[in-house]
Structures are given as C-alpha cells and as structure tokens.
Amino acid sequence: MKKILELIEKELRQAFKAADYDETYARVTISNRPDLCEYQCNGAMAAAKQYKKAPIKIAGDVVEQLGESRVLKQAEAVPPGFINLKVSGEFLSEYLNEMLRDDHLSVEQTENPKTVMIDYGGPNVAKPLHVGHLRSAIIGESLKRMGRFLGHKMIGDVHLGDWGLQMGLIITELKKRKPELVYFQPDYTGEYPAEPPFTISELEEIYPAASAYSKEHPEYKEEAMEATHQLQNGNLGYKALWNHILNVSVSDLKKNYEKLNVTFDLWKKESDAQPYIPEMVAYMKEKGYAHLDQGALVVDVKEASDTKEIPPCMILKSDGASLYNTTDLATIVERMKLFCPDEIIYVVDKRQELYFTQVFRCARKTKLVKEETGLSFLGFGTMNGRDGKPFKTREGGVMRLETLIREINEEMYKKIVDNRSVKEEDARGTAQIVGLSAIKYGDLSNQASKDYIFDVERFTSFEGNTGPYILYTIVRIKSILGRYQEEGGDWKQGCIKAPANDCEKDLMLTISRFNSVVENAYEEKAPHKICSFIYDLANAFNRFYHETKILGEEDTGKKASWIRLLVLTRDVLETGIELLGFSAPERM
C-alpha cells in the first residue's frame, strides 16, 4: 500500500494544480508543530517568488481547492503561508485495517530487488570475540533483516580473519608446548587424526600468550612470521593444524553468534580469497594499473578532487607477500564471480575508513567490479565504558563478548526476580531474552558512526529509551489480549474504528508511518531510525493505555476496535524488534 504521506501529497498536488500552481510545490512533511496539525505543506512560501503573490494567498487558494477529501479532515492556511493538515479519522482507520489484513504490514516489496552482500562480523579465528566485533554483528544483522523484509536478496558473510600472523603465532606456540605432535614431524604426509590437539579454551589462552611473548622476543616473532609464510606456502603439517584451529574456532563462534541471534549465510574466510590472488595480480600488472614503488607493487588511487592525501593501495610487499588489502581485493573478485552482487556493504570499525577508500577506489580503477556495482562502507564508532574510554572489564582487561553478555543477563535476572515472583528457570530464560534487547537496542539506538557509552545501568532499565522498555510494552499488550481472550473475546475479529480522542489518533498516526520508516531506515543504512520509531510508538501506546479503560469498556464495538488497535500495535512493535534482531518474551 502507498505510504500515507504520499496519499496526502497526492491530494495536495491535485489542489495546487486545480488552483493553477505548479504541483512540484506540493511537498508534505510530518508536522513540526503537533499541537497545531499532523502534517504540513510549506510549498506556498516557496511558490510565492515565482507567482509574485503573498504566500498566504497561495495557501488560501490551495486550501479552497482541497475541499471535500477522503484523506484529509482539515486544511488550514496559516500566516505567513503554511498549510496545516489533519488526517481524516475514517481514512486513518481504513489505512490501519488494511495494515492488519496485510501480513507485511503495508510495507511494499521493492519492485527492483537487488543482490546485496553484507560483510559483517569479521571475527578473527582463534582470538576470542570481543566487544569490538559486537557492533559489526549487531548492525550488520539488522541491516540484513531490513533489506530482506523489503524484498532484496541479502547475503550475509562473516568474513573470518584466518590468514594472518595470528595463525603463525599459534602454530609457533603449539610447537613450543607440544613438539611431539605429528604435525611437526618432518615426514608428516598430510593425513591427520580427526581429533584436534587442543580445546577451544586452550586455543583462546594460547593466542594471547603467544602474542604477548612475541612482543618481548623478536626471534619468536621471526619464527611466527616464518611459520605464517610456510603455512601460506603449503606446509602440510601447518595446514593440518590450521584446519583444526579453524574447526574448533568456528564451532565456538557459531555458538556465540547464536546467543546474539545473529546468523550468516556464508562462513567465508580470508583464506578462501587466496587462490584468486596470482591471477588478479598478473592482470593488474598486465593492464598497467599496478606499478612498482620501492620494490612494492602498488595501484595509485588518489583523485584530483582529494582534499587529503590518499596513499596508493599496496598489492604486494617488496618481498612478494600479500596483505590485508590484497585479500580484500581478491575477495571482491571472488564475490563478483560467485554472486555478482549489485552492492557490497562493509560493516567495519570506522577507523578502517581510509583503508576501505583505498580498496574501493582500487577495485573500481582496476575494474574488478562493474561500473554500477555499489561498494559501501558503514563505519561504526567505538563502544566506550562510562568513563568514556573503550569498554573494559572491572579488572581493566579487554572485555570479552561472553563476559559482557553474562554480566547483562545477571543484571536483568536480578531486576526480574526483584520485581515479581517468578520461577527461577523462567526468570533465567526471560533475563536472556530481555538482556539481548538491552545490548542490541542500546547499540542500535545510536547512530552507527558515533561512539557511544555502554551504560549497563541505563540499558537494562525498564524505563526510558531502552530495549527492556520496548519489550515491557509488548508484554503489556500481550497480557491485555490474553485477558480479553479469557473473558471470551476473540482478538482476531473486528476492525479498527475512527479514533475517539487525541491519544488514540496519535497512536494510529504513529503506526501508519511504519512503511515509510522501514524504507527510509534501509536506504540510509540507519537502524537507529527504526529504534526511534518504535520508541515513539511504545510511548504513544502507553499514553493511550493510561487514558483508556480498554477491558472495562461497555460498548463492545468500541472495545473490539481498541483490541484490534492493540493487535496492530503489537505486530508493528514485534516486527520492528525483529528487524533489529531481537524478540519479546511472553511474560516478564
């Protein structure tokens, strides 16, 4: 169904035309004076110059032409030339009833579905997930869900970091600890026992130990670099170990992402792109895109309009080794070959912005992508603690994702058992669901590019602009519907009537904006717009709820209409949080 704003605008266009004014002036926006009107058109002011008439005269002419309208109840010309608009209650209820009938809540499927790959998550194998990876997972997941809801083909790729020095470090440390392993024997032929020679906890302990040790001991680091080199050049034992590391790590990562309600369509990794490198490099050389600069192979990516220096994109180091860049470019080659996406979106820490500028420019210049292929960078800011510094554990260490989730769940659990008498295991389960909403909503309600303060106290609160508040509202609606059913009512029946008071109308107007909010949030890659919408909606609902004795209403028609309004409010809220990547419990 058309967006309500478009329907209002259509009326205005007709009126402008009928009054002999250019219809392009008929732009309508949501009112910035909700005390005076619901929508407004400021076109008369803009038109005044062209027609050399007072804006108020033009506004008056247009209002006169609006006359009887199905969509608008009231149109008023107000000095200096505003056109203030109020929507007809009957029309609004029709609009909402249509939403109720549509299992997509009147959000239209795009006429032009795109194949969009989202590169998000980006964890590094064998290193524990930390809160930095949290943002990418949360934002990317939400974007993917929004695109999918609008009918695009979204392909989420976790793009594991499995090809760097960390692999060499782990191998070197393992060799030090367990030199007897078959993988280190010179006559090792490539078969390996199915059992990995370590557990995930060992692995997670090995990497930080090796990394710290290498910083103090250059010869150890040297050895790790050599091991990395050998791994990349086909050492059978190392390759087998790498396989084990990957398997152990991936099954652990999957568990972690599952807890976050994050799923990937592809579990591709940096190493998958390696086979594409030789041909890509040869092609860049042959076409004259790449040249040698102090021994290194580079592609110039600066442009005349640059205001700051954009260094060349390095393809190979002077020793012939490939880099993070090389892998990302080869990954683009692979993605084009396998999926031919219309767009690739990277959800990565904004500190990598310059890097991605280089990679994107290089990919375009060397024609690894088609001219019309979109390459976008959605850079996110840092998640800080209450002290404004990067989020740390109480002891001052890097906060691991698991720890963070555990702490939030604990906090939620305390609040839930404090509040009411619930069974232990019910409270635990609910705490997990609500805890996830606290984390995700806390993150997504901020504009992605901004740094934000992760405030456990605030995020877990049942009041204010928080995930738990939204869930609490949903649960409140569910409980009213439950009671209605117990009284013998059927909340699947009936339709929404025109609003009887301002609170009710405000709730209805808010709901009617859902389709335009979803489209706009996806277009701007801005999940925070979904958050602010569902917050508005939850507030509008709670105001209505406090004003209205729903279940006590004697008039059964009125009561049934409110119940249907509640059903729709619930559906829109639940769809909204679904797009954000979390869900509501039945009770809390």
Closest approach of Cβ 140 to ligand ARG, in Å?
10
CA distances from 499 to 471, 485, 504 (A): 25, 23, 6
What would the two tokens of residue 317 be?
Answer: 């180091």
Closer CB to ligand ARG, 124 or 172, in the complex: 124
CB of 270 to ligand ARG, least distance (A): 8
Could you tell me the two tokens for 388? 């404004």
User: Rounded to whole angstroms, how far apart are CA atoms 310 and 427?
Assistant: 54
The residue (of 122 and 467) whose beta carbon lies closer to ligand ARG is 122
Taking the complex as a whole, the smallest distance from the CB of residue 155 to ligand ARG amounts, in Å, to 14
Return residues touching ligand ARG (CB under 6 A): 119, 122, 124, 159, 161, 328, 346, 348
The SS3 call for residue 453 is strand
CB nearer to ligand ARG: pick between 346 and 469: 346
Task: Tell me whether residue 1 or residue 323 sits nearer to ligand ARG (CB atom).
Answer: 323
Q: Which of residues 51 and 355 has its CB atom nearest to ligand ARG in the complex?
A: 355
Closer residue to ligand ARG, CB minimum distance, 37 or 116? 116
Angle at 489 (CA atoms; ends 484, 493), nearest 5 degrees: 115
Helix axes 556-580, 131-149, angle to 10 degrees: 130
Task: Report, in Å, the least distance between residue 401 CB and ligand ARG.
Answer: 13
Closest CB to ligand ARG among 348 and 563? 348
Q: Which residues contact 378 (CB under 8 A, 6 or more apart)?
A: 139, 143, 345, 346, 347, 348, 448, 525
Q: How far is the CB of 573 from ligand ARG (least distance, A)?
A: 33
Find out whether 339 and 155 touch, Cβ atoms under 8 Å: yes
> How far is it, in rounded angstroms, from Cα 207 to Cα 174?
10
* DSSP, res 182: G
Q: Determine contact, residues 565/507, Cβ cutoff 8 Å.
A: yes
Q: Which residue is nearest to ligand ARG (CB)?
A: 122
Residues 6+ apart with CB under 8 A from 316: 281, 296, 297, 322, 323, 326
192 token code pair: 């390996």
CB closer to ligand ARG, 43 vs 128: 128
How far, in Å, are 26, 82, 361 from residue 14 at the CA level?
A: 9, 17, 46
Closest contact distance (angstroms) between CB of 373 and ligand ARG is 15
**CB of 119: closest distance to ligand ARG in angstroms?**
5
Distance CA 411, CA 431 (A): 8
Distance of closest approach, residue 348 Cβ to ligand ARG, in angstroms = 4
Nearer to ligand ARG, 170 or 538 (CB): 170
Of the candidates 437, 432, 426, the one whose C-alpha atom is nearest the C-alpha of residue 461 is 437
- Residue 346 CB, nearest approach to ligand ARG (Å): 6
